[in-house]
């Protein structure tokens, strides 16, 4: 169901491959600041990154710069229900605050809501992750509520944390 790639003004999102392991490991996977709010701990070795890539679904995209092709992040698109998509994303720290993830999420959300049978795209974000919340808002998703004790972020502790839920829906008939 998912396309082979997404293209935006500055980005190309293409399927990740095992060959991406060095770029991912050195670019962001070992950075504790990048992985702070993610569902995985920083990778300690290239083997950690290779194991991660071996477990990736076909809907995990490498985010690359369209001009130079450098791998700068990843975007995971998930089908939770036949009518609902979720997502997750990560971006190398040198590329933060440039609007790149907003550009990627906007393109993917717009694509998703043009698909027959898809009525919603959304996900959750830790209440302390203001940067990711801004990305979702700038991409047209709306904060819909607070989910108490919803998500575990292992880099912040073992207890479930409060999260905001964001979504964008296709208008009804």
* pLDDT tens digits, one per residue of 28-64: 999 999 999 999 999 999 999 999 999 987 889 999 9
* Overall pTM surpassing 0.75 (yes/no): yes
Average pLDDT score over the chain:
96
CA dist list (Å): 120 to 83, 88, 92, 128, 157: 7, 15, 28, 24, 30
Q: What is the DSSP string of 114-166?
A: TSTT--EEEEEEETT-HHHHHHHHHTT-EEEEEEEEEE--TTT-SS-EEEEEE
**C-alpha to C-alpha distance for 136 and 157, rounded to whole angstroms:** 24
* φ, ψ at 78 (rounded to 5°): -125, 140
Q: Is 171 helix (H, G, I), strand (E, B) or coil?
A: coil
**C-alpha to C-alpha distance for 30 and 73, rounded to whole angstroms:** 13
* pLDDT tens digits, one per residue of 117-162: 999 999 999 999 999 999 999 999 999 999 999 999 999 999 999 9
Q: So what's the pLDDT on residue 172?
A: 73
Integer Rg of the chain from CA: 16
Q: At the topology level of CATH, where does 6-169 sit?
A: Aminopeptidase (3.40.630)
For the chain, which residues make up each domain, given as ranges?
Answer: 6-169
pLDDT category, 173, cuts 50, 70, 90? low
């Amino acid at each position: 169901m998912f396309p082979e790639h997404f293209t935006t003004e500055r980005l190309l999102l293409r399927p990740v491959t095992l060959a991406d392991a060095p770029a991912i490991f050195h670019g962001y996977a070992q950075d504790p600041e990048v992985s702070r709010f993610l569902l995985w701990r920083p990778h300690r070795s290239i083997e950690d990154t290779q194991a991660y890539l071996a477990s990736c679904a076909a809907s995990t995209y490498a985010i690359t710069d369209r001009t130079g092709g450098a791998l700068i992040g990843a975007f995971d698109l998930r089908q939770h229900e036949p009518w609902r998509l979720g997502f997750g994303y990560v971006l190398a720290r040198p590329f933060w605050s440039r609007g790149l993830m907003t550009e990627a999420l906007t393109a993917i959300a717009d694509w998703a809501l043009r698909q027959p049978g898809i009525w919603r795209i959304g996900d959750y974000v830790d209440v302390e992750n203001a940067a990711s919340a801004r990305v979702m808002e700038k991409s047209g998703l709306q904060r819909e509520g607070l989910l108490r004790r919803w998500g575990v972020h292992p880099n912040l502790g073992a207890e479930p944390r409060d999260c905001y839920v964001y979504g964008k829906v296709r208008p009804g008939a």
